[in-house]
Amino acid sequence: MIDFELSQKVQAQKDLIRSLAEGAMRPISREFDEREHEKPWDFLKMMWDVSRGQSMTGENSREDPEAAKKSGPRENTLTAAITIEELSWGDAGLYLTIPNPGLGGAAVSAAGTPEQKKRFLTPFESGEPKWAAMAITEPHCGSDSAALQTTAVRDGDDWVLNGTKIFCTSGQMAAEKSDGFVVVWATVDKEAGRAGIKSFVVPAHTDGMSVIKVENKLGIRASDTAMLVFEDCHIPADNVLGSAEVAKSTEGFKGAMATFDATRPLVAASALGIGQASLDLAREELEKRGRPIRYGISDASLTAMESDFIDAESDLHAARLLTWRAAWMMDRGQRNNLEASMAKAKAGLAVTLATQKAIELMGPLGYSRKMLLEKWMRDAKINDIFEGTQQINMLIVARRILGYSSKELS
């Protein structure tokens, strides 16, 4: 049975993050949206102190069932989802700049061996601020992972990577500014298609990995989105994620894809935060104008404005329940592939509706730069794109429900 009553620990963290979001993020939100390639270092240092040692990406969240019986289920992923929603309520772009293992850490957690988790994730628990990133998308390859051109070739005790990756969230910070790492998807056998794809951990400052461009974007502008080039980039043989047996087999791609089971609920949570911020502001402004949203009355008695607002709010609540369910399953070691994609797909639609409706209700003021609503609408769109587009996630949902393979339904 799923219990949505938050524990005291999770509720306390939720309240702490909400206060940080309101007091430390909202005041600088507009500033660093406009100064896209500048970093809010004072904010980052403060958040590193707050978040150090805490999970924001659900690392190590697949609890051993026997251990869970003795100690009770963990709440890593659920806590991460709630934390990320609150941070994104403050500012999604600023949230993505915070030093943490990010998508790279989630990949290590999902597909790495215990030794790899210890080696790559432990440094995030102390010391200087660190970032990690994941590099999948290529200039000629978006959602079709089988078309990846970045190669990994074994050379003695090393793997040698060659290729170009684009749209890597926090790619610049992970590659240049810390002793973090970038998880790179590459193929060891182009003829094998998806079966030849594996994940490789490339530590920051590795020779042969370089940042050649940082994108100018529509939204989440405070976060860097980088193009990375790998030219004869040598990494140790044991930096391929997974056991030696998995690294030699076709199971590597399954391990790589398992990353999304952990990260899609967290992307959905970020969408929820943006959508909730938009509806909260719209509600407050309507109340100031003497037009409060009335709850608990019949649909026939609602104004068109109230009906639209409640529909958007209901969509957001539904997306939240799906997100918490996917996180709950992850924390209990249950397969959540279907639920993670459902949460991501629903949240992407819900945040789009919520931000658009909030602007519509505010009229010209909502469209202007006097309010943050137009920024939140820009920030929202990425949640419908990265970690699998809306169409890809809907396709996954259909395959899982109908029992079709990727070859049977594409």
d(CA 240, CA 257): 14
3-class state of residue 99 by DSSP: coil
Handedness of CA 224, 96, 383, 204 (dihedral sign): positive
pLDDT at 394: 93
pLDDT > 70: what percent of the chain? 90
Candidate list 86, 138, 339, 387, residue with the active-site label? 387
3-class state of residue 168 by DSSP: strand
Which pTM was predicted? Answer: 0.90
Strands 132-135 and 181-187 turn out to be parallel
3-class state of residue 201 by DSSP: strand
Tell me: pLDDT of 310 over 90: yes
How big is the CA angle at 85 (ends 224 and 144), to the nearest 5 degrees? Answer: 55
d(CA 378, CA 373): 9
How many residues are given for the chain?
A: 410
Tell me: pLDDT of 399 over 80: yes
User: Crossing angle of helices 76-97/373-380, nearest 10°?
Assistant: 120
Question: 10 in the Ramachandran plot: left (φ > 0), alpha (ψ -120 to 50) or beta?
Answer: alpha
d(CA 45, CA 26): 17
Binning pLDDT at 50, 70 and 90, where does residue 307 land? very high
User: Which of 140-154, 323-337, 394-408 has the least mean pLDDT?
Assistant: 140-154
Q: Find out whether 91 and 280 touch, Cβ atoms under 8 Å.
A: no
Span 79-104, mean pLDDT?
95
Is 387 catalytic? The answer is yes
pLDDT at 2: 58
> Cβ–Cβ contacts within 10 Å for residue 185, how many?
26
Span 201-218, mean pLDDT?
97
Looking up tokens 């003795």 gives 70
Tell me: pLDDT of 240 over 70: yes
Q: Find out whether 161 and 208 touch, Cβ atoms under 8 Å.
A: yes
**DSSP symbol at 7:** P
pLDDT at 66: 46
pLDDT at 147: 83
